[in-house]
Structure formats: structure tokens, C-alpha cells
């Protein structure tokens, strides 16, 4: 490689991109060599995805130049980028559920044949054949005839990779590819990346996980708040240095946690089964207990029943059989409201979908746990003065930044402040049980640290905490007890200190024997 060191396959020079209200990229320059794995490291909102989206033709830069193989290009759409052999695996997969794997792969570049020499049609047979060949070549197992709706996330991701290979992409962009995988699946993916590099492909890897970069990347560009901080040789830089550079200050990589003091039994789930709308059993004979002052974390790959489990406890899903007891009170068949009143607080996974009303004011969103009770309303009619005072107090206490105080419409607030408002509202109830589902998804490191502190504070106050997270690091860092869920069953419950993340990962894949 040494000789043509300065021959870059991708150059992005002085790229600036604005979105309404923010500068996503501010004068960023990166240069990528052919056949290397080039990582982009940064927190959420640092501008990594935006930068890559421009390389992939989703957006056009406001200023700056993109040079591919020495040629200046201006992509108006992803198809123009694809013509230059650039492919991307998005964080949210772009797959059509009711199409087969093969159909998804060829969508957009359908191979055509003519029936009777006149009627053009999409020739899936030939396409599937080619997919099988590619599959063998790169050790990427996919079945082109399977329906997308029938396969799990890890295989869906392979389909996305196959899409790029089918298009003969040479420059492959991966956007946070490992965030939804088990450690074992991550290994598999990294192996495939190695395989691709050997095949002469150039890989751009967007991630916020430093260990992965350490394992596989050659070089690493660090972005912070839209600007390029530095480009490093991965081999010669320490993990701690990278972390500090990414956040812009010294960070604690491990959360410090005081020793646990368990109290009385708060939540007890016994032999619980849940079926979804299509009568498929999603939670199977699950039993566990949580005591006061304990963080019970459920680890598992997305889609293994953990969301349904939380929904069944809060009352969103009907419990098919078994019991749920909260502080000795049987709440198995209670309504959602009765359960929350019995002592459940809930920080949902998707805050904008479940946690708040975007078109309502901050005041109304704060009041959502109490509005139907006195003094907030009397005989079904509101006394708005009470909720105004309440919201003023919470704004103050939880440091929620809003333009016009309680009158601010939720939609106009930043994501971090929305999350602060939800957490504040729920914590303010001081309930014996607090459920956190993916509490830090999509937040930047500072906010994550803040939420983690609050979870620990709730535990130290004596609340029982049920934490459901797809991030294994979060589970390992916070849990007192870990339960691993696979295919609706809890395969293992153990004291967190007795498990390594490798152990947990194994259970997450459904392997029970050592």
C-alpha cells in the first residue's frame, strides 16, 4: 500500500451541511484509502450519519466537495452514488416486509427478461441464483426465498449487506451496524467485514463503540458537534484517549455504583404468558422477583419478548396466564391506570411515541399522571392554576429548558429536554416500581450519564427498578441482577457479578449449555 499512499478512493473536502436550526457538519475533511476500514467515531448528533448520507447521495452538501477515485462528484440521489459503486447499510433497515429477501435485494435494479420475446418481466430466478453465488463467496448466509417478515434482525442486516454486494458496491458504508446485535453476532459481522476488506472493498464504519474500532478499523476520524476533531491511527491510540476526544472531556467509562441494599419484595411475576394479536405466544412462563433497592435488568436481542414483558406488567398487553403482584397486591387483571396508581412509573422506549403528546403544552404533559385527580380537576372540570404551578415547579426542579415555560408546545423542545421532562414527571411520583425501557436510546453521552445517575438514585432511594435494554454495556454497568430473555423465555437469572458479557451474550443467542 505504501507506494500509492496518497491515492484516496474517497475524499470529502471542507463539507458543510446545515439543517434548519443546526449545523450538522462544519467544514469536515476526510480522506479514505482503498481497501481500508475507516471508522467515524462520535456521539449521537455529532454529524457522522449526515456526513455519510451525503456520500451516499441522500443529501447534498451546502459547501465543499466530494471526490471519488479522483473525480469530483455531485450526487443528486442515492442511485447516482450507487453508480459510483457506493452502498450503505442504514441503521434502520430499508426493507419491504412482505417481499422476499431476493425481491428486496433486486429492488431498484431489477434484472429483466422478456416472455415470448415481448413482455418484459422481473426475472427472480436469475437474481436468486446470483444471490446464492455471492452468499457463498463472502460467507454471508441468506436465503433469497425467505420473507423479510420471517427473519430476525441479524439476518435482515445480512440482506442489507447483500444488497450492496449485489450492486457491486466497492465503497461500503455501515451506520451503527452492531447496536442491535449480540456479542456473538457482532463477531460474525466483524468477520464478514474482514472478508469484505480482503475482497478489496473499502469500508466506512459509523459507530460510537470504541472497542469495535479497536478490533477492526485501520483509521478513525473523530467528530464532535459537527466538526472533525482528529484522524487517528487506531493501533497507536488508546481507548481512553479516543473516548476523551469523542466527548471533549475526560469521561468515566464505567459507571460507579454504590453497593446494593435490598429491601422487601416489590414486584413478583409468576409463570406469566403473553400472546400477541395474532395469538402467537411472545412471553413464555416467565417468573422473576424484584426487591426494593434492586436493579433487575433484562438483556436480550430485540424482538425476543422483552417489550411485551414490560407491556404485560404495565397493562398494555393482556396477560394470558400467570400472576403479577406489586407490593403484595395482585394486579394481573387490573387496568393500566389502576396499575400505575398501585405504584408503577414508566419511562418508555420511544419517548415521542409513548411518553409525550407532541402537540400538547409542557404543562399538560407534566399533568398527565395526575390531571384526573383533585386538585388538578374537580368534578371533571380542570383547574388550570394547579397544573400551571405544578409544571413551574417541575421545570425548575428537573432543569427542563423550554422557550415559554409551561406554555411551550412539546414539539418545539429538544429531544434531551423532552426526555428530562418525562423522567422528571415519572420520578416525581415516587413509586415503588420504576420501569425503564431503553432509557438512553438516541441520547448523547452527557445525557446518558445523567440518566444513568438518575436510575441509580432511584435505586438508592429504595425503588425496585426494572431495566430493559438492548445495550449490553448498559445492562452490565447498571444491573444488580440480570435476566436474559430469548424467544420469550427467561433462560437465566443471576447476580450480575457472577456473569461476564460473553456469558450473557451466549444466553441471548439461546445457548444454555456451557
**Does 337 engage in binding with another protein (CB under 8 A)?**
yes
**Does 380 engage in binding with another protein (CB under 8 A)?**
yes
Among 7, 372, 399, 430, binds another protein (CB under 8 A): 372
How far apart, in whole angstroms, are the C-alpha atoms of residue 13 and residue 65? 5
- DSSP code, position 161: H
Question: In whole angstroms, what separates CA 88 from the centre of its chain?
Answer: 18
Among 96, 253, 457, 511, binds another protein (CB under 8 A): 96
C-beta atoms surrounding 249 within 10 Å:
9
Q: Which range of residues in 101-109, 455-463, 472-480, 493-501 is near another protein by CB under 8 A?
A: 101-109
C-alpha cell at 64: 465543499
- Binding string to another protein for residues 286 to 325, with x set by CB under 8 A, is what? ----------------------------x-x---------
Q: Which residues contact residue 309 at a Cβ distance below 8 angstroms, ignoring those fewer than 6 apart? A: 272, 274, 283, 286, 298, 468, 485
Q: Which range of residues in 226-234, 357-365, 439-447, 478-486 is near another protein by CB under 8 A?
A: 357-365
Torsions phi, psi for 323 (to 5 deg): -135, 155
**Does 112 engage in binding with another protein (CB under 8 A)?**
yes
Residue 374, CA distances (Å) to 202, 331, 357, 363, 379 in order: 63, 24, 22, 16, 9
**Nearest residue (CB) to another protein, 163 versus 224:** 163
Q: Which residues contact residue 179 at a Cβ distance below 8 angstroms, ignoring those fewer than 6 apart? A: 91, 209, 470, 471
Q: Which residues contact residue 497 at a Cβ distance below 8 angstroms, ignoring those fewer than 6 apart? A: none
Among 67, 227, 273, 368, binds another protein (CB under 8 A): 368
How far apart, in whole angstroms, are the C-alpha atoms of residue 299 and residue 226? 33
Q: Which range of residues in 115-123, 178-186, 463-471, 488-496 is near another protein by CB under 8 A?
A: 115-123
**Does 398 engage in binding with another protein (CB under 8 A)?**
no
**Does 67 engage in binding with another protein (CB under 8 A)?**
no
How far apart, in whole angstroms, are the C-alpha atoms of residue 315 and residue 311? 6
Task: Find the shortest distance in angstroms from Cβ 226 to another protein.
Answer: 14
C-alpha cell at 9: 478512493
Q: Which helix (H) or strand (E) holds 416?
A: helix 415-427
How far apart, in whole angstroms, are the C-alpha atoms of residue 15 and residue 13? 6
Give the SS3 label for residue 177: coil
C-beta atoms surrounding 164 within 10 Å:
23
**Does 49 engage in binding with another protein (CB under 8 A)?**
yes
C-beta atoms surrounding 311 within 10 Å:
21
**Nearest residue (CB) to another protein, 108 versus 199:** 108
Angle at 19 between CA 15 and CA 24, to 5 degrees: 45
Q: Which helix (H) or strand (E) holds 507?
A: helix 501-508
**Nearest residue (CB) to another protein, 219 versus 363:** 363
**Does 77 engage in binding with another protein (CB under 8 A)?**
yes
Task: Find the shortest distance in angstroms from Cβ 507 to another protein.
Answer: 30
- Binding string to another protein for residues 428 to 467, with x set by CB under 8 A, is what? ----------------------------------------
Q: Which range of residues in 95-103, 240-248, 472-480, 483-491 is near another protein by CB under 8 A?
A: 95-103
**Does 48 engage in binding with another protein (CB under 8 A)?**
no
Task: Find the shortest distance in angstroms from Cβ 336 to another protein.
Answer: 4
**Does 385 engage in binding with another protein (CB under 8 A)?**
no
**Does 346 engage in binding with another protein (CB under 8 A)?**
yes
Query: How many chain residues bind another protein (CB under 8 A)?
Result: 59
Torsions phi, psi for 43 (to 5 deg): -75, 175
**Does 357 engage in binding with another protein (CB under 8 A)?**
yes
Task: Find the shortest distance in angstroms from Cβ 246 to another protein.
Answer: 22
Give the binding site for another protein (CB under 8 A). Answer: 18, 20-21, 49, 53, 77-79, 82, 88, 90-92, 94-99, 103-104, 107-110, 112, 119-122, 163, 277-278, 314, 316, 335-337, 340, 346, 348, 353-360, 364, 368-369, 371-372, 377, 380-382, 409
Amino acid at each position: 500500500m505504501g507506494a500509492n499512499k496518497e491515492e484516496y478512493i474517497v475524499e470529502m473536502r471542507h463539507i458543510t451541511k446545515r439543517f434548519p436550526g443546526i449545523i450538522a457538519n462544519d467544514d469536515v475533511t476526510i480522506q479514505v484509502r482503498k481497501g481500508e476500514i475507516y471508522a467515524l467515531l462520535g456521539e449521537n448528533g455529532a454529524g457522522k450519519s449526515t456526513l455519510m448520507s451525503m456520500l451516499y447521495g441522500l443529501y447534498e452538501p451546502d459547501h465543499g466537495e466530494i471526490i471519488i477515485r479522483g473525480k469530483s462528484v455531485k450526487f443528486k440521489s442515492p442511485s447516482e452514488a450507487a453508480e459510483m459503486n457506493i452502498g450503505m447499510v442504514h441503521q434502520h433497515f430499508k426493507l419491504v416486509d412482505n417481499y422476499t429477501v431476493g425481491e428486496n435485494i433486486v429492488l431498484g435494479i431489477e434484472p429483466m427478461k422478456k416472455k415470448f420475446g415481448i413482455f418484459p418481466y422481473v426475472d427472480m430466478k436469475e437474481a436468486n441464483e446470483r444471490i446464492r453465488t455471492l452468499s457463498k463467496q463472502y460467507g454471508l448466509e441468506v436465503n433469497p426465498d425467505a420473507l423479510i417478515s420471517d427473519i430476525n434482525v441479524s439476518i435482515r442486516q445480512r440482506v442489507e449487506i447483500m444488497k450492496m454486494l449485489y450492486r457491486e458496491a466497492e465503497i461500503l458504508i455501515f451506520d451503527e451496524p452492531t447496536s442491535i446485535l449480540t456479542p456473538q453476532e457482532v463477531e460474525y459481522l466483524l468477520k464478514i467485514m474482514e472478508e469484505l476488506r480482503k475482497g478489496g472493498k473499502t469500508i466506512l464504519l459509523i459507530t460510537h463503540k470504541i472497542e469495535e474500532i479497536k478490533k477492526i478499523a485501520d483509521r478513525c476520524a473523530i467528530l464532535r458537534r459537527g466538526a472533525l476533531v482528529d484522524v487517528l491511527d487506531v493501533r497507536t491510540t488508546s481507548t481512553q484517549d479516543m473516548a476523551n476526544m469523542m466527548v471533549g472531556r475526560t469521561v468515566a467509562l464505567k459507571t460507579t455504583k454504590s453497593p446494593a441494599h435490598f429491601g422487601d419484595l416489590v414486584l413478583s411475576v409468576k409463570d406469566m404468558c403473553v400472546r400477541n394479536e395474532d395469538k402467537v405466544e411472545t412471553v413464555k412462563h416467565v417468573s422473576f422477583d424484584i426487591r426494593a433497592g434492586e436493579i433487575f435488568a433484562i438483556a436480550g436481542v430485540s424482538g425476543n419478548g422483552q417489550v411485551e414483558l414490560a407491556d404485560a406488567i404495565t397493562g398494555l398487553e393482556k396477560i394470558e396466564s400467570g400472576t403479577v403482584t406489586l407490593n403484595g397486591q395482585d394486579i394481573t387483571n387490573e387496568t393500566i391506570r389502576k396499575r400505575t396508581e398501585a405504584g408503577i412509573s414508566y419511562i418508555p422506549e420511544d419517548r415521542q411515541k409513548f411518553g409525550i403528546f407532541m402537540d400538547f403544552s409542557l404543562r399538560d404533559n407534566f399533568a398527565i399522571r395526575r390531571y384526573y385527580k383533585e386538585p388538578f380537576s374537580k368534578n371533571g372540570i380542570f383547574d388550570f392554576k394547579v397544573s400551571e404551578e405544578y409544571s413551574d415547579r417541575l421545570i425548575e426542579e428537573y432543569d427542563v429548558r423550554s422557550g415559554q415555560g409551561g406554555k411551550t408546545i412539546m414539539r418545539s423542545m429538544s429531544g434531551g429536554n423532552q426526555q428530562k421532562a418525562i423522567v422528571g414527571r415519572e420520578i416525581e411520583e415516587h413509586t415503588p416500581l420504576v420501569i425503564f425501557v431503553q432509557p438512553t436510546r438516541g441520547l448523547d453521552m452527557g445525557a446518558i450519564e445523567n440518566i444513568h445517575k438518575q436510575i441509580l438514585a432511584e435505586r438508592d432511594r429504595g425503588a425496585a427498578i426494572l431495566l430493559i435494554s438492548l445495550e449490553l454495556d448498559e445492562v452490565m454497568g447498571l444491573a444488580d441482577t440480570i435476566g436474559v430473555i430469548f424467544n420469550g423465555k427467561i433462560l437465566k437469572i443471576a447476580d450480575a457479578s457472577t456473569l461476564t458479557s460473553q456469558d450473557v451474550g451466549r444466553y441471548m443467542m439461546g445457548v444454555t449449555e456451557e
